[in-house]
Amino acid sequence: MSLYSSERLHTLRVIVTGGGTGGHTYPALTTVTTLQRRLAETGAAPEVLWVGVAGGLESKIAERNHIPFRAITTGKLRRSTSPKDLARNFVDAFRIPIGVLQAVLTVARTKPAVALSTGGYVSVPIGLAAKLFGVPYLLHEQTLSLGLANRILARVATRILLSHEASLEHLPPKARAKAVVTGNPIRAEVFQGDPARAYQAFNLEPNLPLVLVTGGAAGAQQINRMLTGVLGDLLQYCQIVHQCGSLSYTEMQQVAASLPPQLAARYHVLDFIHDELPDLLAAAHIVVARSGAGTVAELTALGKACVLVPYPFSAADEQRVTARHLAATGAAVMLDGPTATPEELRTAIHGLLADPHRREAMARAARTHGKPDAADHVVTELLAVSAR
């Protein structure tokens, strides 16, 4: 059945759903802000409702950006056979129908012209409700291989938006016909970095290569410990800005205090990098990072030479799959997460520091994977589907 008359697009109503992690949440936010900017050029504004889990990251991001939010119940199907996860699956099996009912009521009351999901289990109820009411439904996949929720939703989606060309082979033949490679939406401010601001803000040495090390917003203890083992050696050849996460901040400050004064001046450790991140990305000669979908989207769009250390426990091993794919095309150096050693990190960074031509070749290869206009492409697909 359909909820709409020919007047439905006079005001563009959009339901956006996705959350649980930053990898699902921030592409949704970037798409919403890009849609708002696109329509503002014509004097219009969308009516956006973000549907997610109460208390989840998506609820906080929606509130911070003044986007109306509605919470629904959802459950997660865990593939582990441990007694604990089996018990949690049993409980969640009763939550899922409640979430579907709440999603059906939400879609019925909102009457959206289009629904967009960016992943996470909260997306499933809205996808099913959109199908029930004939609402055009787009799903966006950030990773190279589709997550379980999106594999379910691919069957009911009007359009499947992918971040990587290689993801097409992970879709069944019928789904490939409605798939479009858009890339992964990236915050506009990432492209506005200024190296000079970074050098000034951190009092960096102008003629010394800069290595940016980050494990993401929460840090990565594995990367921190690998760096600790070779920090004194690396600082003889470069300067390092290190986002270590709050849990390791005290420990890494102690490491910094143990360095000789000349080397200590080349090491800048922070628990979290705030507004300076775009400037640091612009200034960095090499980036050491995890290979999460959002991080990879930014690094490839910017064309950065990078050393990727995949998180060994990512869902479906997606980080290792992504890092291996980039490394195979010369777009990154991959250090295998569970077995990576400090010596391998030192060798990787030394090799790139000593060979500017290799860094430039890696940057060019990275750009071939990058999609800097991904957010605009997603919005174009959203508007095209909503106009049907």
Of the pLDDT bands very low, low, confident and very high (cuts 50, 70, 90), residue 2 is very low
Residue owning tokens 């999609």: 371
Of the pLDDT bands very low, low, confident and very high (cuts 50, 70, 90), residue 9 is very low
pTM for the model stands at 0.86
If one counts every other C-beta atom within 10 angstroms of the C-beta of residue 385, the result is 19
Distance separating alpha carbons of residues 336 and 348, to the nearest angstrom: 12
192-227 tens-digit pLDDT? 999 999 999 999 999 999 999 998 766 688 999 999
Domains, the chain, ranges and CATH?
Answer: 13-186+372-386 (3.40.50.2000), 189-369 (3.40.50.2000)
40-78 tens-digit pLDDT? 999 999 999 999 999 888 999 999 999 999 999 875 554
Long-range contacts of 254-258 (CB under 8 A, 24+ apart): 255/228, 255/231
239-295 tens-digit pLDDT? 999 999 988 999 999 999 999 999 999 999 999 998 999 999 999 999 999 999 999
Sign of the alpha-carbon dihedral angle for 98, 99, 104, 110: positive
> Got the DSSP string for 70-107?
EE----------SHHHHHHHHHHHHHHHHHHHHHHHHH
One-letter amino acid for residue 285 of the chain: H
